[in-house]
Amino acid sequence: MFMRWLEYAIFLGIVLGLAHPVGLYLGRVCQGQPTFLDPLMGPVESALYRILGVRPKQEMSAGVYATCFLLFGLGCAIVLFLVLIFERLLPGGPANASLTTPMTTDLAVNTAVSFTTTTTWQAYAGENTLRYLAQVAGIAAQCFLASAAGLAVGFAFIRGVAREQCATVGNFWVDLVRSLLWVLIPLTLIGSLVLIWQGVPMNMAPYTPAHTLEGGIQTIAQGPVAALEFIKNLGTNGGGFFNANGAHPYANPTPFTNFLGMLAIAVLPASLMITFGHLARKPRAGWTLLIVMVALFVLGLAISDWAEAKPPTQLAGLHIVGPNMEGKEVRFGIGDSVLTAMVTSNGSTGSYNSMYDSFQPLGVLGPLVFMLLGEVVFGGLGAGVYSIVMAALVGVFLGGLMVGRTPEYLGKQLRSAEMRWIALYALMTPMVVLVLTSVAVATQAGQAGLVTNSGPRGFTEILFAYASSMANNGQTMAGLAVNNVFYNLTTVIAMLIGRYGLAALALALAGSFAAQRRVLTTAGTLPGDTPAFGALVFGTILLGGSLCFFAAVGLGPVVEFLRH
């Protein structure tokens, strides 16, 4: 236990230690200020603007920015859909005999939407479905583009909070290009080289037949794995080259690569909180929200670690002692498996390294609850910053009601217009997840996916699927058969609303804040950078999540836990 918690502490220490310098660097990228990469990336940036016809000095209103974000996502989804539909015509490996899963139209739609919304929900096994060129030119390319678009929206939201009496929040195309050139591409290049050094394949070789000790033949999948593995984590995309995702030894060969992948997921979203405080001229406000994130993370980590470290009750009669190692890789053990489960569910990444269907009920509870709460702990690249701020604004509103004042946050007032955006944002996830879960549970098409479990476990698998899709996470409990028309289309609804519906509301609020004049701080102003405010936000998140989801969670993992 000591060694596990020492690893958890080291992980959080590195994340918090890197948050300040990385956050300041992201602030410079966001504001177009000089950086050490300018001599290399500046000419490329200028060339891209000329090719794309972008006017970098021309900024956009929040509505125009949101429209560009939506149209860019739509265009990317169409291109990826075409790549997937016609991928069998692409040259290169693997051989057709290895591609045993057909790419149907509904699966292509689901996959295209999944990767262009950074959900990377995979209803297929990558090594049995996609050609190498489809993995690189289709899947990996969208991991770059979708994550850059998400980071761009995060930049725009921060500007909206920081500016006053301004009608614009930035230029989407400028933010997109700068996110790619100054953040994602350089870090991915370095990270991918480290993965290759650690043994992750990067080739176009045919699948390799291997003779096993039992005398059989096993086919070992190859491919350009390193091209996808680091950007899927850095861009908080998730997914994987292989069906086993991060549990596959080619995708995640050592505890070091696993730890590096978790840092890639958490550091940029955590650092954006420092960027937020820096640009809003309230550095302590950014740190306050980051500490709330860490506190929630530690709470979930403690629950899942306790659940998985206990001997499974199902094996009590067999006199087997030790933690629950079912569904976990021996090279990772309980510590790396639980840490990965919590980081990937909080970071909307979904690149799991263990099978959640083998977790204990309370072990599943942690990842499930954090996806239901939205991306309030680290979160997706860009989405994390506006998710936690939205939660904080709900707390500010409640605090304002207590003292009878117009609520304010960092000098911006929460009037009726702003509260409509905030309330709709807060209610969007429960409305979508609970409705879709109800439909799946109540219909034959939805129940048909329960091929492994029924009862509370089966209900949890369905709830988990829609929570994962809405949070643009992509993780699955694997006990639910989802490659069918019903789940391929209904999960698309959750993915689209989770990506574009929530982002549009956040940008609308950013535009409203940017147009306001910053009000003066008085003795009656609720400060947004104190421990008391952090406690208010922490309590608001837990209370709001309980009110929305307690009944649903109670029918799933809680009932299953009590039955054992």
Domain ranges of the chain: 283-563
User: Quick one: pLDDT at residue 181?
Assistant: 96
Report pTM.
Answer: 0.94
User: Quick one: pLDDT at residue 476?
Assistant: 85
Q: Residue 49, SS3?
A: helix
Name the token pair of 56. Answer: 């970098």
User: Quick one: pLDDT at residue 311?
Assistant: 79
Q: For residue 296, which of 500, 459, 80, 537 has the smallest C-alpha distance? A: 537
User: Quick one: pLDDT at residue 237?
Assistant: 86
Distance CA 298, CA 279 (A): 28
Q: Is the peptide bond before 39 cis (omega within 30 degrees of 0)?
A: no
User: Quick one: pLDDT at residue 403?
Assistant: 66
Q: Which residues share a beta bridge with 219?
A: 209
Name the token pair of 94. Answer: 């693997």
User: Quick one: pLDDT at residue 316?
Assistant: 63
Between the alpha carbon of residue 216 and those of residues 96, 211, 213, 332, the distances in Å are 21, 6, 7, 28
Q: For residue 471, which of 539, 550, 383 has the smallest C-alpha distance? A: 383
pLDDT by position in tens, the chain (length 564): 788 999 999 999 999 999 999 999 999 999 999 999 999 999 999 999 999 999 999 999 999 999 999 999 999 999 999 999 998 888 888 888 788 888 889 999 999 999 999 988 888 888 888 899 998 989 999 999 999 999 999 999 999 999 999 999 999 999 999 999 999 999 999 999 999 999 999 998 889 888 888 888 888 888 899 989 999 999 888 778 888 888 889 999 999 999 999 999 999 999 999 999 999 999 999 999 999 999 999 999 999 999 998 877 766 666 667 788 888 888 898 989 999 999 998 877 888 888 888 888 898 998 999 999 988 999 889 899 999 999 999 999 887 777 666 788 888 888 888 999 999 999 999 999 999 999 999 999 999 999 888 889 999 999 999 999 999 988 888 788 888 899 999 999 999 999 999 999 999 999 999 999 888 777 667 788 889 999 999 999 999 999 999 999 999 999 888 887
Distance CA 47, CA 454 (A): 56
Q: Is residue 35 within 8 Å of 29, Cβ to Cβ?
A: yes
Name the token pair of 130. Answer: 């996609």
Q: For residue 345, which of 373, 371, 321 has the smallest C-alpha distance? A: 371
User: Quick one: pLDDT at residue 82?
Assistant: 94
